[in-house]
């Protein structure tokens, strides 16, 4: 967020941060496309993946509740992408389930 704020003029982009226990409260705004940039940590994405999917392949849904994985994104930018270099990690699998 600091890097975006440093390089973009104020009030140009709407930045959402998907974190914390109330993160699902942001979903209606995210789905409507309110935010221009959505920031999500690998840890949060992995946590959502665990809640949403039964198996590690991300195929079988165990929850029908809306989640970040239901939102179609135009583009994903992965900072610190070395975090997901191993295809066996939950973070790697979670990133691969994101609709973009």
73 neighbors 16 (Cβ within 8 angstroms)? no
Look at residue 55 in the predicted model and tell me its pLDDT. Answer: 64
DSSP letter, residue 32: T
Look at residue 1 in the predicted model and tell me its pLDDT. Answer: 84
Look at residue 62 in the predicted model and tell me its pLDDT. Answer: 67
- Taking alpha carbons only, the member of 65, 37, 31, 53 closest to residue 97 is 53
pLDDT in tens, 16-71: 999 999 998 999 999 999 999 999 999 999 999 988 886 666 566 666 778 899 89
Look at residue 52 in the predicted model and tell me its pLDDT. Answer: 85
Compute the distance between CA of residue 5 and CA of residue 95 in angstroms, rounded to an integer: 24
Look at residue 58 in the predicted model and tell me its pLDDT. Answer: 56
Q: Say what angle helices 42-52 and 90-97 make with each other, to 10 degrees.
A: 80
């Amino acid at each position: 967020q600091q890097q975006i704020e440093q390089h973009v003029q104020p009030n140009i982009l709407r930045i959402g941060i998907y974190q914390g226990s109330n993160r699902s409260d942001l979903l209606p705004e995210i789905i409507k496309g309110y935010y221009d940039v959505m920031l999500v940590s690998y840890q949060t994405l992995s946590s959502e993946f665990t809640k949403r999917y039964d198996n590690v392949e991300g195929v079988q849904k165990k929850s029908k509740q809306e989640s970040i994985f239901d939102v179609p994104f135009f583009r994903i930018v992965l900072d610190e992408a070395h975090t997901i270099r191993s295809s066996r990690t939950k973070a790697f699998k979670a990133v691969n389930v994101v609709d973009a």
